[in-house]
Amino acid sequence: MLQSKLLTKISKTFPEGEESKNAKWLIRGGFIAKSSSGVYSILPLGLRVLRNITEIVREEMNALGSEELAMPALVEKKYWEKTGRWGVDVIYKTGNEENKKDEAHDFEFGLGWTHEEVMTAIANNFIQSYRDLPKSAYQFQTKFRKEVRAQGGLLRGREFLMKDLYSFHLDEKDLESFYLKIWKAYNNVYKRVGLKTIVAEAGGGDFTKQYTHEFQVLNTAGEDLVYYCSKCKFAQNKEVFKPENHKDCKEEILNAKAIEVGNIFRLGTRYSEAFNLKVKLESGEESRVVMGSYGIGITRIIGTLVEEYSDERGIIWPKSVAPFKAHFINLRKNKDKEFKKFFALYEKLNKNSNEILFDDRADKSAGEKFAESDILGIPLRIVCGEKTGIKLEIKERSSSKFKLVSYKEIEKYLAV
Amino acid sequence: MLQSKLLTKISKTFPEGEESKNAKWLIRGGFIAKSSSGVYSILPLGLRVLRNITEIVREEMNALGSEELAMPALVEKKYWEKTGRWGVDVIYKTGNEENKKDEAHDFEFGLGWTHEEVMTAIANNFIQSYRDLPKSAYQFQTKFRKEVRAQGGLLRGREFLMKDLYSFHLDEKDLESFYLKIWKAYNNVYKRVGLKTIVAEAGGGDFTKQYTHEFQVLNTAGEDLVYYCSKCKFAQNKEVFKPENHKDCKEEILNAKAIEVGNIFRLGTRYSEAFNLKVKLESGEESRVVMGSYGIGITRIIGTLVEEYSDERGIIWPKSVAPFKAHFINLRKNKDKEFKKFFALYEKLNKNSNEILFDDRADKSAGEKFAESDILGIPLRIVCGEKTGIKLEIKERSSSKFKLVSYKEIEKYLAV
């Protein structure tokens, strides 16, 4: 991609009124734009990061044998009423409240902030026999939550992207076996996107009365407080924390702010009861389906990555999710032989994958180009200028070391 | 994909209360599920079709040099007020109407039914000079419209997926040049997904006062009425039709019901005026940016394809968008040598792309399997049974001819 053709530009200053580090850098770099408090547009550069994350999550969910679908945002009142969740605080409502006489308003909807209700209703069409179990399905879907305070940039929004997966089982034992598998898949996801998580026990909120598990990234930007042990695996969210649960280990309990990037819930039969989802057993008897639900905050991961990986000069994206693999920067004033060689390398490497950003702008100084490149946070910066001669200068965003290397070597770097 | 593992099952009967052909077949086949009137979930099989369509559209939009982004559904009142569209009938409103004292409700939102407002506000951050033009950006986004009558299955929903693209130009001339390019790109899209369209002049609705162009598929399921000439390119939507516009051609004007699958709008400066979007010219003077917007109804295309391509036995997907390339059907009762060979071929061909559905179910008769295969509408059906010997039976969904072919030949069919 030629940088001169990008829809967005990098701003010289931070946006006004944004306090969180992630929103500051992401807006300044042109990854996102603020639309309202807690509501952001994902701009082309941000969408590239988002795609890389969703692709990793998709691979891990598919590896569990789960199928992708897409449920609606307009979820009718009757669904929420079955589970007693029409009255929750976070639900945005729309529809017929304005004018009950108008046929168009004959429906009251709550904007989907989670999809247990719709998913269980769908499952009812396809799960009838024990032979139909286990099954699971997931979606990447925009969720809406009427937050009292939308804050922290992409960490807590009123509209955000989530991966939510729902699983259906014959009994608690089968749920438990899947629960451990998805726990492992979540560990894979966070490792692959570059986040170190600890798994904390937590309460079930509006979802379940059982203990649930939260995947937490220890970071001062987080709103959660996690109590954990650095020696054993003990970790609990503030709301459920009891020191006596840690009596077998003598290590001191620490606590730290954390960002919840995912959670897994054993739902039991709460939703299958509400929607009368049951299967016929081999014996002819009927049995309630046992369910689980599992969320990953996709846009929240983007925000968390910036909180974790940035310095005073900008973002430092992990390679697996970076918007581009490499940032080629041309400093040559003339379209001479060396420029042509550099551009030809870009064209060759970029042809199939479009994973290289080429700074072709003539109206920016070397200093401006470098500063902007640091803000964007692309893992590799490759420079061609008068001073690099027949070689190219390569620098990792995460390091301060420069190196002059031959064209042959550059190709090796970029093949990784 | 093994059919026994699919989340969905094919229903023996049509859904109750659905009148439109597309909803009947799509629900019965397990492509979609109805959530409320005009609101559908896209199930895994449907999502495969939707992905194939979006990928075609994405390729064509990228080829225009356009960049993909994602704007929010929650669009604050202040945006709509700038263009006088807060009062339109189709807008779903949510937010603070319930309780103005509550901080969480400090915002009033209209659910995005189109995104000129948000897009122009974003452009304002990045378009300042004539050098920044032309630019364009697009998204695949869920739109919400408060339809008086949601009808026609996926043809007119309250929530649906659209591709919307917005372009920014220095002047009318540059807009015109882009308008013709995207017109051509739209022709490519519809050709590639298998739809024959005619382009009709129409009014601009809430968008513009200029003539716009609608891409229409002549089909009795459509709500539009199009007047057109089969000899010259004359075509007008009912609302703007005037016979005197067709005076240079002597052919009779026909009319027919049609489904609008896309539209292109010259917006002029209406939105750039509302959001004060202007550029500095080389002369130092300022100039209003000229805009266009361009929509393709993605979920509506799915519905239209079923209206166009189905018979009394089910759907007949065009190859380019089919959920799977081929439907392998095993009729052998035992896992004998021939079954193993058949399964090995499936595994080999399916490994990288997962584009083959393998009917491995033991509890269905040959007749049931064939009937279900016809409903699903996968272009190629390949059968291995006691009667096919060391060969396989191949049949196209669109034809009634069967053929026994060797394994070698099958691979040729599937390489296409």
DSSP string, A166-200: EEEESSHHHHHHHHHHHHHHHHHHHHHHT---EEE
- Residue whose tokens read 């030809």: A344
A268: left (phi over 0), alpha (psi -120 to 50) or beta: left
| Peptide linkage before B134 cis (omega within 30 of 0) | yes
When pLDDT is averaged across residues B94-109 and rounded to a whole number, the result is 61
Distance (Å) of CA A289 to CA A154, A267, A273, B387:
35, 10, 8, 41
Nearest to A72 among B41, B70, B98 (CB): B41
Residues of B in contact with A89 (CB under 8 A): 104
Residue of chain B nearest A36, judged by CA positions: B76
What is the C-alpha separation between B310 and B307, in angstroms, rounded? Answer: 7
| Peptide linkage before A323 cis (omega within 30 of 0) | no
Percentage of chain B surpassing pLDDT 90? 87
Residues A151, A157, A163, A168: what is their CA dihedral angle, to the nearest 10 degrees?
90
Nearest-5° Cα angle at A85, A79 to A88: 135
By C-alpha distance, which of B146, B140, B138, B164 is closest to B42?
B140
Nearest-5° Cα angle at B189, B186 to B191: 110
Mean confidence (pLDDT) of chain B: 94
pLDDT at residue B11 tops 90: yes
Structure tokens at A34: 């603020």
Structure tokens at B180: 């013709």
Q: Do A107 and B68 touch (CB under 8 A)?
A: no
pLDDT at residue A131 tops 70: yes
The residues near A379 (Cβ < 8 Å, ≥ 6 apart) are: A316, A317, A318, A319, A322, A325, A326, A396, A397, A398
Strands of B355-401, DSSP E: 356-359, 380-384, 392-396
Helix axes B44-63, B172-193, angle to 10 degrees: 140
How many interchain CB pairs under 8 A, A with B?
A: 159
Are the CB atoms for A166 and A135 separated by under 8 Å? no
Q: Do A73 and B142 touch (CB under 8 A)?
A: yes
Q: What is the pLDDT of residue B21?
A: 98
Sign of the C-alpha dihedral computed for residues A71, A77, A78 and A84 taken in this order: positive
When pLDDT is averaged across residues A304-310 and rounded to a whole number, the result is 98
- Residue whose tokens read 């049995």: A287
Q: In angstroms, what separates the C-alpha of B115 from chain A's closest C-alpha?
A: 11
Task: Give the confidence band of A190 by pLDDT, cuts at 50, 70, 90.
Answer: very high
Q: Do B149 and A103 touch (CB under 8 A)?
A: yes
Which residue ranges form the domains of chain A, and what is each CATH number? 7-73+112-311 (3.30.930.10), 326-415 (3.40.50.800)
CA–centroid distance for A206 within its chain = 22
Residues A90, A96, A99, A102: what is their CA dihedral angle, to the nearest 10 degrees?
170
What is the C-alpha separation between B264 and B211, in angstroms, rounded? Answer: 10
Helix (H) or strand (E) segment spanning residue A338: helix A337-350
When pLDDT is averaged across residues B330-334 and rounded to a whole number, the result is 94
pLDDT at residue A404 tops 60: yes
pLDDT at residue A132 tops 90: yes
Q: In the Cβ-directed half-sphere of A329, how many Cα atoms lie within 13 Å?
A: 26
Q: What phi, psi does B213 have (nearest 5°)?
A: -125, 130
What is the C-alpha separation between B325 and B353, in angstroms, rounded? Answer: 10
Residues of A in contact with B75 (CB under 8 A): 35
Q: What is the pLDDT of residue A188?
A: 98
- End-to-end Cα distance, chain A: 20
Q: Which residues pair with B212 in a beta bridge?
A: B202
The residues near B47 (Cβ < 8 Å, ≥ 6 apart) are: A68, A69, A70
Nearest to A74 among B76, B137, B159 (CB): B159
Q: What phi, psi does B341 have (nearest 5°)?
A: -65, -45
pLDDT at residue B100 tops 70: no
Sign of the C-alpha dihedral computed for residues B163, B159, A142 and A40 taken in this order: positive
Number of CB atoms found within 10 A of residue B270's CB: 18
Q: Do B107 and A142 touch (CB under 8 A)?
A: no
Q: What is the pLDDT of residue A98?
A: 47
Q: What is the pLDDT of residue B203?
A: 87
Task: Give the confidence band of B246 by pLDDT, cuts at 50, 70, 90.
Answer: confident
pLDDT at residue B106 tops 80: no
DSSP letter at B3 equals G
Q: Map residue B298 onto helix, strand or coil.
A: helix
**Which of A28-37, B62-71, B240-249 has the weakest average pLDDT?**
B240-249
Q: pLDDT tens digits for A350-363?
A: 988 889 999 999 99
What is the C-alpha separation between A147 and A329, in angstroms, rounded? Answer: 42
Q: Map residue A19 onto helix, strand or coil.
A: coil
Task: Give the confidence band of B352 by pLDDT, cuts at 50, 70, 90.
Answer: confident
Q: pLDDT tens digits for B210-231?
A: 789 999 999 999 999 999 999 9
Q: What is the pLDDT of residue A105?
A: 46
The residues near A232 (Cβ < 8 Å, ≥ 6 apart) are: A246, A248, A249, A251
CA–centroid distance for B154 within its chain = 10
Number of CB atoms found within 10 A of residue B319's CB: 15
Q: In chain B, what are the helix, strand and coil shares in percent, each to the nearest 5?
A: 35, 30, 35
Strands of A156-277, DSSP E: 159-169, 198-202, 212-218, 224-229, 235-237, 253-268
By C-alpha distance, which of B249, B187, B238, B191 is closest to B215?
B187
Q: In angstroms, what separates the C-alpha of B26 from chain A's closest C-alpha?
A: 14
Task: Give the confidence band of A147 by pLDDT, cuts at 50, 70, 90.
Answer: confident
When pLDDT is averaged across residues A131-141 and rounded to a whole number, the result is 97
Q: What is the pLDDT of residue A15?
A: 96
DSSP letter at B223 equals S
What is the C-alpha separation between B175 and A115, in angstroms, rounded? Answer: 42
How do B198-202 and A356-359 pair as beta strands? unpaired
When pLDDT is averaged across residues A236-262 and rounded to a whole number, the result is 93
Task: Give the confidence band of B13 by pLDDT, cuts at 50, 70, 90.
Answer: very high
Q: Do A37 and B107 touch (CB under 8 A)?
A: yes
- Residue whose tokens read 């609705």: B205
What is the C-alpha separation between B403 and B408, in angstroms, rounded? Answer: 14
Nearest to B65 among A5, A47, A102 (CB): A5
Residues of B in contact with A7 (CB under 8 A): 67, 69, 126, 135, 137
Q: What is the pLDDT of residue A95?
A: 85
Are the CB atoms for A143 and A224 separated by under 8 Å? no
- End-to-end Cα distance, chain B: 20
Q: Per-residue DSSP letters for B129-196?
A: BGGG-SEEEEEEEEEE---SS-BTGGGB-SEEEEEEEEEEESSHHHHHHHHHHHHHHHHHHHHHHT--
Structure tokens at A223: 């709103």
Helix (H) or strand (E) segment spanning residue A294: strand A290-297
Which ranges of A101-141 would DSSP assign to H, the alpha helix? 116-126
Residues of B in contact with A30 (CB under 8 A): 126
pLDDT at residue B104 tops 70: no
Q: Which residues pair with A76 in a beta bridge?
A: A109
Q: What is the pLDDT of residue B105?
A: 46
ipTM summary value: 0.95
**Which of A58-72, B143-157, B218-232, B393-407 has the weakest average pLDDT?**
B143-157
Q: Do A40 and B72 touch (CB under 8 A)?
A: yes
When pLDDT is averaged across residues A171-195 and rounded to a whole number, the result is 98
Are the CB atoms for A325 and A379 separated by under 8 Å? yes
Q: What is the pLDDT of residue B96?
A: 55
Are the CB atoms for A380 and A355 separated by under 8 Å? no
Q: What is the pLDDT of residue B248?
A: 85
Structure tokens at B3: 């059919």
Q: What is the pLDDT of residue B243?
A: 86
Nearest to B144 among A74, A125, A135 (CB): A74
Q: Per-residue DSSP letters for B131-144?
A: GG-SEEEEEEEEEE
pLDDT at residue A46 tops 80: yes
Q: What is the pLDDT of residue A148?
A: 76
Nearest to A137 among B7, B135, B148 (CB): B7
Q: What is the pLDDT of residue A104?
A: 46
- Please report, as a single letter, which amino acid is at residue B312: E
Q: pLDDT tens digits for B136-177?
A: 999 999 999 998 778 899 999 999 999 999 999 999 999 999
Number of CB atoms found within 10 A of residue B144's CB: 25
Helix axes A298-308, A44-63, angle to 10 degrees: 110
- Residue whose tokens read 């017929």: A96
Sign of the C-alpha dihedral computed for residues A58, A61, A64 and A70 taken in this order: negative
